[in-house]
Amino acid sequence: RDDTRFFATRADFRRWAEGRRTYRMEFFYREMRRRTGILMDGDQPEGGEWNFDKQNRKPLPRDISVNERRIYEADAVTRGVLDLVGEFFARHFGDLEPFQWAITREEALVALDEFIEYALPSFGDYQDAMSSKEPFLFHSILSPYINAGLLLPREVVQRAEEAYRDGGVPLNAAEGFIRQILGWREYIRGIYWLKMPDYAESNFFNATRPLPSFYWTGETRSNCLHHCISGTKRHAYEHHIQRLMVTGNFALIAGFDPAQVEEWYLIVFADAYEWVELPNTHGMILYADGGLLGSKPYAASGTYINKMSDYCRGCTYDVRQRSGPDACPFNYLYWDFLIRNRAKLEGNPRLKMPYRTLDEMQAERVAEIRADAARYLNSLTPSQPGDY
């Protein structure tokens, strides 16, 4: 049946995908812009560019002000469900209080209004930033409402476009937000229905290491992982950079079993339905599909996290240290990931620079990286079914 929670039908995506060797979101997104007329100037994209992603990567200033998010009061039905969960599932992952989510159409519309007015104007510049003090920053937190049907994607996108055309929101903010819904969300759903169920079985890197128990407890010396996992436990939500570049990046470079990582992402987030969670995690985060979704693995060292967040300032590991027990694990795990997967990745044109750097390393340095990675990974306690 047609589903009003999406712009495109499954048949629309199949027609777009037919005959293509690769499926890049950017080209599907352009097709959706043309079809809907959203952020278009005639037959050209508004502002002369389809994508303003390069303007969405500013680090967060220390003195920036973030508007406080509304807490919605749980009604009697919601309170009854919370009590039931507390009685029968007390040991499961997640915090019941404070319950913050809108549960009605009217409340979801209030959340949309407040995002457009207070957060969207700054979203474009700082959508890739992360903060230990502000878990949501300028992100919309509307995905649970859109996925559940309390808000419709067309009305959300139209509100963002109107805010831009009225002069209240910069183009890079409106386009960056609209791309997430009109582009990525539609594209991910299309990939799911086009490629499942075989898609979930691919494991490009043959990753088999079990997910560690700290993904369920947040108890780890890595401050970035601690904040993101603890924030997920409190809010059932983290924004896309925290999911991609902290918990996801770590799972990728450590070589965790894709099925276990995907189960975690499906369980812990309020906006997680398998159609959106699985291809995001399997393809975008873990590159387990070998590049069907992404042009390269989103692997990064601690340098990226230090640039885009304040996590490193409160960490017991030293992000500037390359080796040893006090070095940031992201640093040596990143290089270890490239070393052990060289045969599959060195031909990727987007990875030429790191492999050139690797080739310039002394043999002793490479051995040091491998030893640090093995020491750290072998120290991790595997998670058990009872952890969640």
List, for residues 170-194, the tens digit of each pLDDT value.
999 999 999 999 999 999 999 999 9
Q: How much is the pLDDT for 140?
A: 96
What pLDDT is attached to residue 22? 83
Length of the chain: 388
Helices (H), the chain: 10-17, 25-36, 76-88, 105-114, 120-126, 143-148, 153-165, 171-178, 186-195, 214-217, 223-235, 240-242, 249-254, 258-268, 274-279, 302-308, 329-340, 342-345, 352-359, 363-379
* 336: phi then psi, degrees, rounded to nearest 5: -65, -40
Strands 44-45 and 40-41: antiparallel
DSSP of 26-53: HHHHHHHHHHH-TTEETTEEGGG-S--G
pTM, whole model, 2 decimals? 0.95
pLDDT of residue 55: 80
Tell me what pLDDT residue 240 has: 94
pLDDT of residue 386: 66
If one counts every other C-beta atom within 10 angstroms of the C-beta of residue 356, the result is: 9
Convert the pLDDT of each residue in 19-78 to its tens digit: 988 889 999 999 999 999 999 999 999 999 999 988 888 888 888 889 888 989 899 999
Q: How far apart are CA 73 and CA 86, in angstroms?
A: 18
Query: What are the residue ranges in the chain where pLDDT is below 50?
Result: none
